[in-house]
Every structure is written in structure tokens, then in C-alpha cells.
Amino acid sequence: MLFSSVAFIAFFLVVFTTYWGSGLLPLSNLALKRGRVYLLLASSYFFYGCWSVPLLSLIAFSTLVDFVVGQRIGESRSPKTRRTLLVVSVCTNLGLLGIFKYANFFIAGAQDFLLTIGVEHEPILLNIILPLGISFYTFQSMSYTIDIYRGTLQPERNFGNFALFISFFPQLVAGPIVRASDFLWQVQKDHRLRDVDFDHSIDMILRGLIKKVLVADVIAGFVDTVFAAPEAYGTINTWLAMMTYTIQIYCDFSGYSDVAIGIAGLLGYRLPKNFDFPLMARGFSEFWRRWHISLFSWLRKYLFIPLGGNSRGALFSYRNLLITMVLSGLWHGASYAFLIWGLLHGLLLVGELIARPVFQRIAGFIPRVIGETAAICTTVALFSATLVFFRPQPLSAAFLMARTLFTWVPDSAIAMPSYTAMLVVAAVLTHVAGDFARNRKRETFAIAAPMLRSLQFAGLSILLILASESHEQPFIYFQF
């Protein structure tokens, strides 16, 4: 059920009405809290089961293992036992990822290696599908046991609370990745309808659906056309396609995150911000603090810092950055293209750190607005260029597009439709205005009059439903 579909709207209305309507029943406070937890848990499993009932067993298995392991780690005083239990949790979660996401990739890689040494062997590929959201909920579950092992979190004693943390439907299949310390306390609190921030939640849902349905899905046509036949387009059209693809991915993924945050808010829960106007970043270090915040804060906390972070000098810091970014690429997809994408971002981050003193000296000789604008444009352009390796396609096609970007290939005509250009320009201007308002702590889309908000919500809901029926597309990050 896509957030922009009529089916999801009907599903959520039932959940919302039942959830808050339960407060009218003659129940004790404890019974009401427990009932709401299991209502949301059942709703979450139903939501995922609409895609695949059998693969619900993976979520249930991961939940059960980490709940039991977390309890045992919390109870044990033996360092060896605690380490063993942590290994069980990490191996279980990474094992699920390895089987369902990376098995065929490694089998094919082994086949390639055997061929290079002259051994012919027909690989037996596994006939499996990639479960929706597996990269998200396994990272979420694994971080729980790691935090308990580190002593920064106490084990959750109620299985229902923990199961809801793993499977909460607004962010189940595409994040944000939530840490247990940020979620479990919310399960245990008293939720009251009068405490819900309806203005903010509806704002988030509307802007998210607008990004997804009225921008990302519409401009996808031009991007698909260029990616389908990259040899037919020259440098200008390829650059236009890559810049448009950047806007598409941003509006698609941040749109999902916005809707997830808004839906959770209507149920009394707060999810962490996942995007912070990243296309206004003045360099790649800043970019990765603004883009997919929940993933890269996870990687920093559970990978980069344990590798040593910045504590052992520049060379080790560069090494750790490269390892982290390569693995982030592999997290996104099991292919050489994603590994290259991650490596490129690691190299860009390292290059930026090395060149930072030079940039700072240059900045002293040019006006600030010119320097910042140049830095933003360069960051976005380079990010867009790396996306030739982000979209599933043959490596040969990705390298062809990369070569077209950086060597002049003439175009017969501009292929971008006018409505795509207008949407891209509107998205960029809105993004710039949003970052401007963010810096001044103002809500860009805040609407004061309740009546006007109601009319806006009704009108845009109808528009979104009609638009979603005409060109409904899955969220891009569902494939991860």
C-alpha cells in the first residue's frame, strides 16, 4: 500500500479512528495503553502483509531473536557471554541481509573470480526476492542489541513494545531508521489526542505527498527516457537528466520520510528528521549531515567510530571514511555499481578534507555569497554525476553516461519536456526558500487560518488521489 494510494488512506483512517476512539471505552489506563500497542502492531503486520505474508516471518524472526538476546545481554555479567550474544544478534541480522540481498551478488562474484583463473563453473543462483525494508529493520533491530551491550540502553521487558519498535508501519519499509532510545519511551507514555500537533503532522504529510506524486513521479518520465537509451543523448541532455534524477530521488525519498513523520505524528509518535535541505549543502561533509540523516548517523555511530573514527590521525580517518562509504554503497544495493557509488563518495569526502585549507584560503579573496553559491552548485553537480552508478543498469551504460557527462557529446535538441523543467525549477526554488526559512527558524509552509488549512487539505487530497491513480510509482527506496 503506497502512501499516495486510496487503499492506504482507507487503511489509515480505520487505524486512526480505532486508535483514538479506544479512549472512549471504559478501560483502565494500562489496558488502554496495551490495547493501542497491539492495535498498532497488528496494523503494522497487516500493512507489510499486504505486500507479502510469508516474508512477515523474517520480521518476526529478527524481532524474537533480538528481544531474547537483548534480555540475556542485560542480565549477564560475563563479558564473554555478552560478546557471544552480541555476535549472535549481529550474525542473525547480517545473515538475513546476506541471504536475501547479497547471496546472488557474492555467488556471481565468485563465478567471475573463477573465470579469471581459468575455472569454468555454472553458478547456482538462489531464486529469492528482496524483502521490502529489510535493510532498514535489520539495522534498527541490530542497533538495539549493540546499545544494550554498550550499556547505553536497558532491555525492553515487554515483547509487544519491542515488536512495535521494529515494525511500526509508517517507517517500516523505507525509514527513517529509528533508535530504540528514541522510540521505546514513546510506547510507554500516555498518548492523548489533545497533545497531537495536527498542524505540523498534516503539513508533513501534504508536503511529502506533493514531493512524491506531483514532482518525483511526474519528472520520472524524462529521467527514464534518458536512462533507457543513454547512447542517444549528448552531454547537455545527460546533465539535465542527472540533475533531474537528483530532484526525483530527493523528492521521492524525502517525500516518503515526510509522510512517515506526519503519519506517526497523528498517532502521537515522533520520528527523527531524515532530510535537512541537503541540496543546499556547501560540501560533501555537510551534505551527508543533511541527506538520509538516520542512515549516516547510524553508520557513524556503529561503524565509523568503532573503526577508530578520527582518533588516530588523518590517514586512518581517510581509511575509515572510505570503508564506511563503500559499505554504505553496498547497503543500498548488491552490485558493483553501488560499490563504485559508495567509493566515489568516500573519495569526495577525503578529497574535501585534504583540500579544505586551500578552499578556506581561496574563500578569503571572494565575496561570501559567490563562494557559497559555487560550493553548493559544485556539490550538487558532483552528487548528480555519481548517480549514474546509483540506478540499476548495466555497468557499461553507467560508464557511458559518466563519459558523456565529462566529455563533449553534441545533442540534436533539448529532450526535457517543458512541464518537467517547470517542476524542477519550482522544486529548486522551494528548496532554496525552505533552507532560507530554516536558517531563520520559520516554518516555510505554516498556514495560520484553520479554515484555510482545512480547504487546502481537502483540495490537495483530491488532487493527490487523482494524480496517484494516473501515474502511481513505488518509492525508489523500497528497493533497498
Among 121, 191, 200, 332, the one annotated catalytic: 332
**CB neighbourhood size of 450 (10 A):** 10
Q: Is 292 a catalytic residue?
A: no
Q: Rounded to whole angstroms, how far apart are CA atoms 131 and 177?
A: 16
| Cα 159 from Cα 187, distance rounded (Å) | 12
**Among 413, 341, 419, 347, residue whose Cα is nearest residue 384:** 341
| Residue indicated by cell numbers 487523482 | 466
Distances (CA, A) of 124 to 53, 101, 105, 110, 127: 26, 16, 12, 11, 9
Distance from chain centroid for Cα 364: 37
C-alpha cell at 107: 555467488
Could you give the angle at which helices 6-21 and 450-471 cross, rounded to 10 degrees? 140
Q: Is 204 exposed, middle or buried (0-12, 13-18, 19+ CB in 10 A)?
A: buried
Q: How far is CA 76 from CA 159, 266, 324, 405, 465, in A?
A: 19, 39, 31, 57, 53
Helix/strand/coil for 449? coil
The tally of CA atoms less than 13 A away on the side-chain side of residue 333 is 16
Of 269, 143, 249, 157, nearest to 204 by C-alpha is: 269
First vs last C-alpha separation in the chain: 17
Measured CA to CA in angstroms, residue 106 lies from 100, 112, 273, 480 at distances of 11, 10, 34, 17
Residues designated as active site: 332
